[in-house]
């Protein structure tokens, strides 16, 4: 069906505005970390918030108050988990992946590439996207916890101190 009635459209507009304002308010008071892209856990919360907003907007069976409580619950759980992960290594290891070294010392780390399901071509594409002309100009490529690839440029005589905490299995 293309159109049911005007009250359905009016409901979507009114509930949409109110749900949006509630979500913005809750996100604002919860802090910047709530919608960060730091790891898979953060992505899940972001997707769940979007799904909840869609349900509140389009389902006549879900009241606005229920949607706001769902927003608050998801944001509250995100806040608690991130608060705990900053204070506890055990919690941090449960919810956060470790970055992985994929290329170092002029060589691809094939074990790490297989484990992380990344191809050499994808690593080369990341190097090109950084404007680097050759793999020889690359000191390291890291698969970050958010799935992005970080390319570190060779700097003569400088130690790669930023690799602290990066899994070097496969090296």
Boundaries of every domain in the chain: 6-94, 100-163
CA distances for 54 relative to 15, 49, 50, 64, 67, angstroms: 11, 9, 6, 11, 10
Tens-digit pLDDT profile for residues 42-101: 788 889 999 999 999 999 999 999 999 999 999 999 889 889 988 999 988 888 888 899
Q: Which fold has domain 100-163?
A: CRO Repressor (3.30.240)
Report the C-alpha gap between 64 and 56 in whole angstroms: 6
Q: With 80 as the cut, is the pLDDT of residue 171 above it? A: no
Across 2-18, average pLDDT: 90
Q: How many CA atoms are closer than 13 Å to the CA of 115, on its beta-carbon side?
A: 17
Q: Which residues of 121-151 are buried (b: 16+ CB within 10 A; e: fewer)?
A: ebbbebbeeeebeeeeebbbbbbbbeeebeb
pLDDT in tens, 98-113: 889 999 989 999 999 9
pLDDT by residue (tens digit) across 137-165?
Answer: 999 999 988 888 999 998 776 777 777 77
Residue 114 clears pLDDT 60, i.e. is over it: yes
Task: Give the per-residue pLDDT at 17.
Answer: 95
């Amino acid at each position: 069906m293309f159109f049911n009635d005007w009250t359905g459209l009016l409901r979507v507009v009114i509930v949409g505005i109110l749900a949006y304002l509630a979500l913005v308010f809750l996100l604002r008071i919860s802090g910047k970390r709530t919608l960060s892209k730091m790891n898979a856990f953060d992505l899940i919360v972001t997707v769940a918030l979007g799904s909840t907003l869609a349900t509140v907007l389009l389902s006549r069976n879900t009241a606005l108050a229920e949607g706001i409580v769902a927003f608050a619950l998801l944001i509250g759980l995100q806040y608690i988990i991130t608060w705990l992960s900053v204070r506890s290594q055990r919690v941090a290891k449960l919810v956060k992946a470790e970055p992985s070294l994929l290329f170092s010392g002029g060589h691809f780390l094939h074990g790490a590439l297989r484990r992380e399901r990344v191809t050499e071509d994808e690593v080369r594409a990341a190097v090109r996207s950084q404007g680097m002309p050759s793999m020889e100009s690359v000191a390291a490529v890291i698969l970050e916890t958010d799935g992005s690839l970080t390319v570190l440029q060779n700097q003569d005589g400088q130690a790669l101190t930023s690799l602290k905490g990066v899994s070097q299995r496969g090296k």
